[in-house]
Structure 1
């Protein structure tokens, strides 16, 4: 366990306030805590790999008066957000530490649901720089990076070797190989997360980015930058796969877990998923027969959406000092190593990606590091959820056969809807 700061210093870095604890992003950094130590609850997405409880038990054994209880939220990020928002809008003190999708920082800070943190308490200079940026909003640190994420292409190494294929780096190569493997081995070709939720927004954003470097919105979220040509190319890539059959129709109902299982059970030749799918596959009958590479793009390797989870302190927690100390423990180097080795989640400490022992055990780390460093964050907007819903709805409709509306028309309509959101007061 890393060395923890004295409790008095934690008290000073989160100074007391009565009304300020529920104010928004304009609060002074470090304000927000009028509470002390005691039991806390960690609210975070469902642990599908079973790695969390042993880490929590280590904390509980060392802190019997500040025991942490795990509250697992649904797997889908949209459902996690809905439960958290309902709790925080009610000013409930049930949640102390919040496991936030990296895209929620602006929204939760603006709403006054989380408190700003003191940068000096965390070794941020040893974290991957793009990951740290996801926890900063309007110049203040509102959360601490816990896991990072970037999309990877999982592929059947054994089948590609039989056909003499190299891992696909372009959409055309993916199409060619998916069709060939489907015909020769009876496996479906390719799938991502195509259900109408945040996962579809991410998959579409990655396709736009991979079609020559486009963006849906500017990084600060103040302008719609969706290029008609790149959006049309992204939609054509996905619709073409569905039309030709190398993307199976059932993929339209896939979230992360469904696509993971489809690949792990040998039903897919290729799958876009996050790194957490690697560990379960490596422990399955597919072990030794698959590998990962960067996402393909229109003319070469594509670009992922930057994902991950940050840990924040609820503005309504009664034990904010314990919450901060727990976050310092949970994001420390020792636990970050376990996040990777036991949970198969990408750590946020840069040095772990260069550790020879870890690379031997997790040979995808160099590819993952490149993917994270080249990934693009989602725009920092407090109303990002509304933006995501509009994108997911438009793309979901476009992927539903018989494809009556052209890709160009879908792209133009989506751009118009986004323009209305951005212009709204």
Structure 2
């Protein structure tokens, strides 16, 4: 999935976190508030201060400091691959930050492990939760309580080269049947019709997961007609040359490069690359369309939540900062700078046509919940394995999905 915003905690992680937290006796510290001299700590995985993503967050926090004299916010960047392990070790040592910016799919496991606090009362007093998109708000809910505040979101849509589709007199596909036909028509010796990521791991499962959802399928039940139809179509598109077999080695950045260099007429990718294409390929003519539909029209949601940790000594001040970040006026400036999408429906439109399509697509976003949320990384990796087996020819579609179903069942049962 989207690497910059998706970190998962499996059941074993959750159990270890819970044990570590109990051993350390981590509990909410003293009440803070916004008195002079208040210093808040915030840990995130966006990027170092000199990176585009890290710098955007730093600018947001500096604006908060300017609006709240006497309050200082100390952000700490922890590399993506080390974030969960660092939270675990810090919980064991009783040295958690005031606020943790976590992946939406990690929220349930961290709540059950006691690493983050129940903020239901603050949210209720705030009175603004109705503005959040339902699929995004659901990621903050654990056992009927709220454990995080949505921060930003990202999702997937179809990028298309307007010159290529225009010369072929083709409109962007609105169904998956049209997608296969359109991609085949746009394929030539030096160009594929559609580029997607199929690299080993959860990132390479994204397009197939989206296709399974569109067919009305359940990602935890892939040995069934919807998933069989989805994987069969992907294999046929590869066999026709409409999707390059090279996709098995491409991450989402590679897919962007295929599209940017004219080697793909369309690509399925996230809003992350809107600003990148505009900056790095100003001469490229492209637009974005909603994903095609089938039985349903769904996309994949990637989002992050802000959470007050169980080790915070000033939860009131932490809550104030979190709520401030979700002010529509604040988001109106921050989101374009961060190159992300709003989690709320009351953020003023910025007039950007492309971002507008992604925001519309976000309304039909799906995110794993319940038991799947904890084990989604492993489950999606298994789904990619089915794609790998079918596309490479090492197994038939039905056999690949049957094998994958056994792996998914085992993962969810552990």
- Pick the TM interval, shorter chain: 0.7 to 0.9
**Preserved contact between residue 213 and residue 296 of structure 2 (Cα < 8 Å):** no
Residue 399 of structure 2 is aligned to residue 409 of structure 1: yes
Aligned to 2:130: 125
Aligned to 2:188: 183
**Preserved contact between residue 387 and residue 418 of structure 1 (Cα < 8 Å):** no
Aligned to 2:256: 260
**Preserved contact between residue 40 and residue 98 of structure 2 (Cα < 8 Å):** no
Aligned to 1:116: 118
Aligned to 2:160: 155
Instruction: Pick closer, same or farther for the CA change 1:335–1:253 going to 2, 3 Å.
Output: farther
SS at match of 1:245: coil
Alignment counterpart, residue 287 of structure 2, candidates 283, 286, 291: 291
Per the TM alignment, residue 422 of structure 1 is displaced from its structure 2 partner at its CA by 3.5
- CA distance in 2 between partners of 1:93 and 1:263 (Å): 45
User: What are the residue-to-residue correspondences of 1:151-230 with 2, within 5 Å?
Assistant: 151-183=156-188, 186-211=190-215, 213-217=216-220, 225-226=221-222, 228-230=224-226
- CA distance in 2 between partners of 1:200 and 1:95 (Å): 33
- TM, length-normalised to structure 2: 0.80
Q: What stretches of structure 1 of length at least 5 have no aligned partner?
A: 1-18, 218-224
Aligned to 1:361: 352
- CA distance in 1 between partners of 2:196 and 2:56 (Å): 25
Aligned to 1:313: 308
Per the TM alignment, residue 187 of structure 1 is displaced from its structure 2 partner at its CA by 3.1
Instruction: Pick closer, same or farther for the CA change 1:342–1:264 going to 2, 3 Å.
Output: farther
- CA distance in 1 between partners of 2:409 and 2:67 (Å): 52
- CA distance in 1 between partners of 2:82 and 2:330 (Å): 23
* Bigger mean CA deviation after superposition, 235-244 or 157-166: 235-244
Cα deviation 1:225-263 (Å, max 9, x = unaligned): 445111112222333333333323443233333333443
- CA distance in 2 between partners of 1:396 and 1:380 (Å): 23
Per the TM alignment, residue 387 of structure 1 is displaced from its structure 2 partner at its CA by 4.3
- CA distance in 1 between partners of 2:367 and 2:118 (Å): 21
* Bigger mean CA deviation after superposition, 175-184 or 145-154: 175-184
Instruction: Pick closer, same or farther for the CA change 1:296–1:92 going to 2, 3 Å.
Output: farther
Aligned to 1:235: 231
Alignment counterpart, residue 376 of structure 1, candidates 366, 370, 373: 366
**Preserved contact between residue 149 and residue 275 of structure 1 (Cα < 8 Å):** yes
Instruction: Pick closer, same or farther for the CA change 1:56–1:233 going to 2, 3 Å.
Output: same
Per the TM alignment, residue 152 of structure 1 is displaced from its structure 2 partner at its CA by 0.8
SS at match of 2:45: strand
**Preserved contact between residue 40 and residue 319 of structure 1 (Cα < 8 Å):** no
SS at match of 2:136: helix
Alignment counterpart, residue 140 of structure 1, candidates 129, 142, 145: 145
SS at match of 1:131: helix
- CA distance in 2 between partners of 1:264 and 1:316 (Å): 45
- CA distance in 1 between partners of 2:88 and 2:64 (Å): 28
Instruction: Pick closer, same or farther for the CA change 1:243–1:319 going to 2, 3 Å.
Output: farther
Residue 329 of structure 2 is aligned to residue 334 of structure 1: yes
Q: What stretches of structure 2 of length at least 5 have no aligned partner?
A: 1-17, 33-37
- CA distance in 2 between partners of 1:272 and 1:291 (Å): 12
Instruction: Pick closer, same or farther for the CA change 1:51–1:192 going to 2, 3 Å.
Output: farther
- CA distance in 2 between partners of 1:119 and 1:227 (Å): 41
- CA distance in 1 between partners of 2:267 and 2:411 (Å): 32
SS at match of 2:187: helix
Per the TM alignment, residue 312 of structure 1 is displaced from its structure 2 partner at its CA by 1.0
Instruction: Pick closer, same or farther for the CA change 1:128–1:89 going to 2, 3 Å.
Output: same
**Preserved contact between residue 206 and residue 300 of structure 2 (Cα < 8 Å):** yes
Aligned to 1:221: none
Instruction: Pick closer, same or farther for the CA change 1:120–1:402 going to 2, 3 Å.
Output: closer
**Preserved contact between residue 42 and residue 101 of structure 2 (Cα < 8 Å):** no
- CA distance in 2 between partners of 1:394 and 1:127 (Å): 30
